[in-house]
Amino acid sequence: MKVYVNWHSSLKSIKKNKKRSLLTMFGIVIGIAAVIAILSIGRGFEKKTIKSLTNEDSGEVKVTLYFTPDDQTLYNANVNFFSDRDLQQLSGISGVKSADFPKNDSGTVYGDILVKDKKKNKQFDLVSSTDQTVLYGRNLTAADDETKSKVVMIDSTTAKELYGSAENALNRGLEYNSQFFLIVGIYKGTEQISMFSMPESNIQIPKATYQLYFPDQKDHSSVELIMEKNATASKVTTAAIDEMKASGSVKDLGSYEVYDTAALTDGVGQVLSTITYFISAVAGISLFIAGVGVMNMMYISVSERTKEIGIRRALGATRNAIRLQFLLEGITLTLIGGIIGYIVGMILAYVIGNAVSIPVSIDLFTVLLAVGVSSGIGLIFSVMPASEAAKKDLIDILR
């Protein structure tokens, strides 16, 4: 009952000094609104970034196992870094739900073509159309891709290997995986590749055509491991690497390593969270300034209400009752400011989020932050003025 009476008296005092109370509350509103807006947008951006990195709706933990050769020229050679036998061994490891070669969704693939009864590994570019400087013939067009035509463009180096000269290769055939394609264009190729140059494509083929005739083409340069529900990714990946080191098909040609998407997203999430909290802390400086304003207002209120304090003490009010009244006054002031600041902050977050296409994340933490911080400021910065009011001596007041 005493708490209710003191709180009611605090509300009357705040209403009595409306302008001063509103100006003091303004600093709390601005500070809380800034922190809430930054946290909501920051967490929304963090979730959006992590989702774009994982792109996994199933929630499964996926780990990719790679092979890094000691001789970099093996990347362009006819070598599969992982065999079907490797895949079977990895599938049998405890904690692995499934293991498979990833589908090649990139615009570049490597494959063998038949050159004078010998297979040669070439780089294919999957394109919708081309804009090459043509030596003979024509470029590939969008119509070739739409109609899934079995046509290709090849570089002059490959043309000479196949038919002795670039001109002779035009309108001739190219065999790849038991399929024959018509060579409709020849473009200039690189005669020699240095160790510092990036490999260039040898063959341009319509993407839709490639996907039609080779739908199950997979990349044998890596293996995707999907973890069982309760498996520990670090233990499983360690076991997978140890297995490949012991009996991998190309174990003597390089080393095995793991790309863990979960570890990457955790790291990115921690960095983004740190940045968000840092910016929030900077914005929170305004809350400290607002707290000083609350303390200043409370000191003025104590000095102006000396007579009121004396009358209450004369009527039997204890020091604790006086202290409680001023504490409740400061807490009420900042709590109302915190609630208003929270509402303003969320409105601000949605406006900014819609403007820059970033989702806003609302959780219980932001609500507790608004209520807790504002109440804490009222309590901390009202203690000294409330204690000052409680310490006033009745005899000195009556003088």
- Spans of all domains in the chain: 2-52+268-398, 104-217
**C-alpha–C-alpha distance, residues 34 and 348, integer Å:** 9
For residue 140, the model assigns a pLDDT of 94
**C-alpha–C-alpha distance, residues 120 and 149, integer Å:** 24
For residue 57, the model assigns a pLDDT of 46
Give Cβ neighbours of residue 126 (< 8 Å, ≥ 6 apart).
107, 108, 109, 205, 206, 207, 210, 211
For residue 280, the model assigns a pLDDT of 67
- Place 172 in a pLDDT band, splitting at 50, 70 and 90: very high
Reply yes or no on whether the pLDDT at 194 is more than 60.
no
Query: What mean pLDDT is predicted for residues 367-389?
Result: 70
For residue 135, the model assigns a pLDDT of 93
Reply yes or no on whether the pLDDT at 264 is more than 60.
no
Reply yes or no on whether the pLDDT at 54 is more than 70.
no
Reply yes or no on whether the pLDDT at 45 is more than 70.
yes
Tell me the average pLDDT of the chain. Answer: 76
For residue 170, the model assigns a pLDDT of 93
Query: What mean pLDDT is predicted for residues 307-329?
Result: 72
Give Cβ neighbours of residue 148 (< 8 Å, ≥ 6 apart).
206, 208, 209, 212
